[in-house]
Structure formats: C-alpha cells, structure tokens
C-alpha cells in the first residue's frame, strides 16, 4: 500500500541520516524531496506547501531537546507534520445498551457493500452483536453479494429482493431488528444514480428515516485529492460522522485521498486495503505515518525524544526548586497548568498564587494566564532567561509587542518575582508536591 510514497519518503530521510552535517541547504533538499513524494501521491499542492514550510521553519529554528541529535529531531518534525496533515487522533465509540444505527453512504462502486461486510466482521470480532440491512434496490445482485459475505461471518442480513422502495426496506429492517439485542446495525445503501443530485436526495431521505447514530462515507481512494469535493458534497447533505477510504492497495493517489479527506474536518475511521474481508484497518494518523516512514527507525527516535523531554522537565524542576526559576520556567508552569486543566488544585499549592485566587476568580485567572502568555512570548530569549534585565524601556517594548498596557507587564513581573521568592523559601516543596499530585512530578 502506498509503496511509492513510502519509498520516496524513506529515501528522503535516509539522505538526512547519512549526511555529514545538517545545514540549511540539506533541509531545503529534504523539503524538496518531501514535496515531490507528496505531489506524486496526489496530495493537494496547498497542503504540500504547508507541510514543507513548517518542516523547514521548525527544522531551522527549533533547538532539539538536549541529547537528541539534530537529524533525529528533523525526522521527528517530519513525522509530526505529516501526522497533523492526516487528521486528528480520535475514535468513534458506540453507545452501549442499545442498537447503534450506522448508515453507509457513497457513490456506486466506492466499496460500500464490501466495507459493510468487512465492518460487520471487524465489529463482530470486537465483541459487538452486529446485523446488516441491505437497502440497495438498484442492483439485483447487491443483496446476494451482501448475504453471501455476511453468511461467512454469521451476521444476519435483512433485505427484500421484491421491494424496490429503499426507504421502506430501511424502516422494515429497523423494525425487524428492534428486539434482537443488537449493538450495531449497518445499513448498506445504493449508489447507482445518473445524477449526483438524485443520490444525495435519496441519502437525505434515508437519513431522515433511519436517524443514524453515525453516517459513514465510503470513498474510493483512487480518485486522490478529488475526495475533498466528494466528501464536501455529501457533508452538505447529511452530516458525515466518519470517512472510510477504500482501495488504498491499488491506488497511487492514496496519500492525496487521505490528506484531502482529513482536510474536510471529518475523521477518517477506517481504510480498505484489499478485496478480501479482512482487508480493513482502523485508521490512526500517527500510526499510519509511523508505518509510512518505517516505524522501526522512527519509534526509537520518538521514544528518545519523549524521554529527553521528561528529563528536561526534571532539570527544570531542580532549577525551580533551587530558587533559580527564570521567566521561561514561569511560562512552563503556566503551560502545565492549562494543559492539565486543574487550575484550582494547582494554584492552591503554588506559592505566590494560593490565597490570591477565589473560586469565582478562576475564570479571570485563566484570562490572565492567556494575557501573560502573550506578554512572555513578546520577550526576547535573553530576557526570559534573565528577567532582571526588564527595565522600563524593555517593558515598554514588550507592552507594545504583546498589545497589553505596561502595567500588565509590570503585574506579570511582580507575580513572577513573588512566585520565585516563595519557591526559594519553600525550596520548591510545594511546587513539586503539586506536580506530583497531578502525575507530573
């Protein structure tokens, strides 16, 4: 699957790994290689440029965490940016204790019926009780195809060859399964329409009748970046809850298909990778990119990066607790607070903050942190490392840069100093226990 893309990306990485040193020229070359690889896989030009611009910028400007080589850091950046291109990392979860209705939509030949049977098996294996409704009334053989395949995995199919009214079939099918204690019912629909509008109209009606919990759009991956407009057209008619891209085994345009689908904002939930019933995979952007780049190489790098990040945290904590906190550390603490989201618990045990904040002031506090974030971001590296440099002319500049008045900058500096002094007085004990309680220390 996506063999060309895989080969080209890996070749690009190899060039970096085998180079004697990293310089701007090499990064530009990597960027060009990646561009070529993605374009050949039919990824939209705009996405390609976004990815490689980020890749160049970050590779040139970011300092790798101590201990991680510049080369490995660049590979990690490439991995990050590609994964970002392919969408978010969420999973759909079926509600327990009732029948979840899943409507399969897509144009004829996209692979709906095939995916329906694949999914029936996949979900059955996961322990769900699954059944299928065959509502493709346009193709006489459709029901036979569905029944033959579902029989093999002991999944019941409801259908009626003589009935040409797909809405009625859906209604009757849902009634038929009403008391069967099902977890999931998959509804396979038709796609044989001369005009796109007719298909979309029928989808709208079926959607109304079925009231599905999840609408899955099945798209043929061989159409590449055109997936975007197709998904968009469907999405305007029925709210698409997830996308399945098929035929990735036989498509050179798979990369483009995945990127374009992700760009619609809908989650890609599964991919089809062959004609056999087991050729279905749950989709995860990071796992997918990992495999694309050769997980063997990349996983070690990622593990190392993660470990180094946490080691860097330790060094920081030591610095904070010995009273040597700088503005960067202060910023880091603010970030941790918002990341973890338990502002209350954190503030209660932060010297310099506790007592200052009452319950009803929490919102205000969050606004203040946001403000401080902008202000700190307007400081130079030097100023962050040594906030004692902040004289009135620097404060004036920072105020202008951040868009906040000078007294706000001064307020931040005052709080920073308070926090630093108290941290020193308590030898960081309070800070550490707060972090530990949140599983950070």
Ligand X SMILES: Nc1nc2c(ncn2[C@@H]2O[C@H](COP(=O)(O)OP(=O)(O)O)[C@@H](O)[C@H]2O)c(=O)[nH]1
Q: Do residues 272 and 248 make contact, with C-beta atoms less than 8 angstroms apart?
A: yes
Site string for Mg ion, 124-143 (x = CB under 5 A): ------------x-------
Q: Which CB atom, from 9 or from 146, has the smaller least distance to ligand X?
A: 146
Select 189 or 432, whichever has its Cβ closest to ligand X: 189
Answer whether 238's CB lies under 8 Å from 207's CB: yes
For the chain, first and last CA: distance in Å? 42
Please name which of 35, 27, 46, 43 lies closest in space to residue 9, comparing C-alpha atoms. Answer: 35
Nearer to Mg ion, 85 or 187 (CB): 187
Residue 113 in contact with Mg ion, rule: CB under 5 A: yes
Report yes or no: 242 and 266 within 8 Å, Cβ to Cβ.
yes
Helix H segments across 127-226? 141-152, 166-177, 196-210
**If you search the block for the tokens 């607790």, which residue do you land on?**
321
Residues ≥6 apart with Cβ < 8 Å to 232: 264
Instruction: State the minimum distance, in angstroms, from the CB of residue 136 to Mg ion.
Output: 5
Q: Which is nearer to ligand X, 112 or 147 (CB)?
A: 112
Residues near ligand X (CB under 6 A), total? 18
- 136-175 binders of Mg ion (CB under 5 A): 136
Report the residue from 87, 111, 173, 387 that binds ligand X according to the rule CB under 6 A. Answer: 111
Residue range at the interface with Mg ion (CB under 5 A); choices 67-75, 105-113, 333-341, 380-388: 105-113
Site for ligand X in 264-293 (CB under 6 A): 272-275, 279
Name the residue nearer to ligand X (CB basis): 76 or 247: 247
DSSP 8-state code for residue 238:
S
CA angle 40, 45, 51 (to 5 degrees): 95
Residue 106 engages ligand X in binding (rule: CB under 6 A): yes
3-state secondary structure of 299: helix
Q: Contact between 109 and ligand X (CB under 6 A)?
A: yes
Over the window 344 to 363, marking each residue x when it contacts ligand X by CB under 6 A and - when it does not, the resulting string is --------------------
Exposed (0-12), middle (13-18) or buried (19+): which is 143, by Cβ within 10 Å?
buried
Site residues (CB under 5 A) for Mg ion? Answer: 112-113, 136
Residues of this chain that bind ligand X (CB under 6 A): 106, 108-114, 191, 246-247, 249-250, 272-275, 279
């Amino acid at each position: 699957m996506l063999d060309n893309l895989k080969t080209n990306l890996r070749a690009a990485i190899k060039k970096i790994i085998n180079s004697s040193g990293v310089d701007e020229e090499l990064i530009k070359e990597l960027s060009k290689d990646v561009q070529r690889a993605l374009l050949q896989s039919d990824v939209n030009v705009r996405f390609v440029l976004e990815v490689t611009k980020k890749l160049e910028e970050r590779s040139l400007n970011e300092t790798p965490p101590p201990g991680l080589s510049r080369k490995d850091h660049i590979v990690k950046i490439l991995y990050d940016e590609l994964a970002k291109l392919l969408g978010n990392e969420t999973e759909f979860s079926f509600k327990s204790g009732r029948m979840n209705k899943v409507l399969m939509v897509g144009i004829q030949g996209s692979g709906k019926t095939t995916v329906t049977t694949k999914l029936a098996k996949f979900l059955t294996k996961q322990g769900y009780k699954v059944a299928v409704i065959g509502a493709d009334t346009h193709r006489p053989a459709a029901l036979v195809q569905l029944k033959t395949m579902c029989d093999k995995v002991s999944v019941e199919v409801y259908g009626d060859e003589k009935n040409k009214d797909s809405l009625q079939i859906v209604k009757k099918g849902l009634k038929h399964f009403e008391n069967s204690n099902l977890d999931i019912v998959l509804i396979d629909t038709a796609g044989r329409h001369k005009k796109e509008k007719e298909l979309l109209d029928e989808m709208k009606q079926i959607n109304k009748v079925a009231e599905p919990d999840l609408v899955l759009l099945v798209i043929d991956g061989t159409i590449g970046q055109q997936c975007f407009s197709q998904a968009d057209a469907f999405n305007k008619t029925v709210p698409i809850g997830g996308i399945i891209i098929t035929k990735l085994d036989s498509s050179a345009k798979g990369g483009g298909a995945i990127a374009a689908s992700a760009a619609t904002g809908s989650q890609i939930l599964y991919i089809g990778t062959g004609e056999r019933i087991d050729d279905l995979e749950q989709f995860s952007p990071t796992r997918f990119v990992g495999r694309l780049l050769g997980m063997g190489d990349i996983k070690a790098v990622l593990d190392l990066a993660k470990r180094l990040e946490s080691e860097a945290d330790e060094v920081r904590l030591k610095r904070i607790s010995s009273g040597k906190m700088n503005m960067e550390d202060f910023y880091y603490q603010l970030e941790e607070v918002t990341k973890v989201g338990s502002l209350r618990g954190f503030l209660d045990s932060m010297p310099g903050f506790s007592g200052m904040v009452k319950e009803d002031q929490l919102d205000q506090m969050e606004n203040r942190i946001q403000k401080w974030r902008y202000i700190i971001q307007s400081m130079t590296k030097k100023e962050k490392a040594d906030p004692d440099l902040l004289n009135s002319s620097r404060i004036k500049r920072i105020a202008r840069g951040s868009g906040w008045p000078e007294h706000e900058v001064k307020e931040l500096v005052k709080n920073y100093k308070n926090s630093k002094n108290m941290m020193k007085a308590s030898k960081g004990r309070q800070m550490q226990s707060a972090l530990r309680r949140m599983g950070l220390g």
